[in-house]
Amino acid sequence: QAVLTQPSSLSASPGASASLTCTLRSGINVGTYRIYWYQQKPGSPPQYLLRYKSDSDKQQGSGVPSRFSGSKDASANAGILLISGLQSEDEADYYCMIWHSNAVVFGGGTKLTVL
Amino acid sequence: EVQLVESGGGLVQPGGSLRLSCAASGFTFSTYWMHWVRQSPDKGLVWVSRINSDGSSTGYADSVKGRFTISRDNAKNTLYLQMNSLRAEDTAVYYCTRETAAVFDPWGQGTLVTVSS
């Protein structure tokens, strides 16, 4: 079982909200981790969006709009990237990341389609 | 402007070697930890290796441990990845990225490594 699991794809309409999940493997408690989120558009390297551990421990990337935000669902053992007011330019791949056991682990990524 | 530029990618046969470079500019390179992350064609991101600011400490993903070596030359503002015993599954775009407080930002544009006979 992968350390971080993300749905492979998600579709949403312009102006709507999209909730991208990043589920941690059983036995790895989401509450103890900072979840980092990156956006990657075709032909470009990833770009840092934000990190979230709690409402008192979070950081927005430089220049990242406030309609990108992080949260957690402890019952699902998952980190969440919420994108509100979807725009066509938000169509991209989104990756979650954690630091785990002295290494870095990425989720498999979610391809967000805005249509 | 902070910039990272990778080079050294190319086509190599299985079992061969390649050395990647990442030239840094626009910041004090010697004070930052640096990482290599790779991305196979149409696949996700995979962390490869990291090195601390003075080069005295390194770390590797299990998949490359014993085959890849990360290093840096702070006088030349350059990060390296020596890749030996290359396998088909090492085929990927290799990105270098700067770490600041556990955040990877920025990333270079990447260099493509293709391992094939």
Split at pLDDT 50, 70, 90, the class of A61 is: very high
CB pairs under 8 A between A and B: 54
Instruction: Flag if A104 and B50 touch (Cβ within 8 Å).
Output: yes
State residue B43's pLDDT score. 79
pLDDT surpassing 90 at residue A101 = no
- Tell me the residue type at A28: I
Burial A20-39 (b: 16+ CB within 10 A, else e): bbbbbeeebebeebbbbbbb
Task: Give the pLDDT score at A95.
Answer: 98
Task: List CB contacts (< 8 A) between A61 and chain B.
Answer: 103, 105
Q: Give the CA distances from residue A3 to residues A69, A106, B39, B64, B83, in Å, rounded to whole numbers and listed in that order.
A: 22, 8, 17, 18, 26
* Buried/exposed code over A67-85 (b: 16+ C-beta within 10 A; e: otherwise): ebbbebeeeebbbbbebee
Which single residue is written with the structure tokens 């992968």?
A2
Task: Say whether A46 and B104 touch across the interface (CB within 8 A).
Answer: yes
Q: Is 80 exceeded by the pLDDT of residue A4?
A: yes
CB-based contacts of A101: which residues, under 8 Å, 6+ apart? none
Question: What is the reported pLDDT for A102?
Answer: 84
Specify the pLDDT at position A51.
Answer: 98
pLDDT at B42: 73
Yes or no: say if B10 and B116 are a contact pair by the CB < 8 Å rule: no
Each residue's pLDDT expressed in tens, for chain B with a length of 117 residues = 999 999 999 999 999 999 999 999 999 999 999 999 999 977 789 999 999 999 999 999 999 999 999 999 999 999 999 999 999 999 999 999 999 999 999 999 999 999 999
- Cα–Cα distance between B29 and A96 in angstroms, integer? 26
Distance CA B66, CA B56 (A): 17
B61 and A103 within 8 Å at the Cβ level: the answer is: yes
Question: What one-character DSSP code corresponds to residue A90?
Answer: G
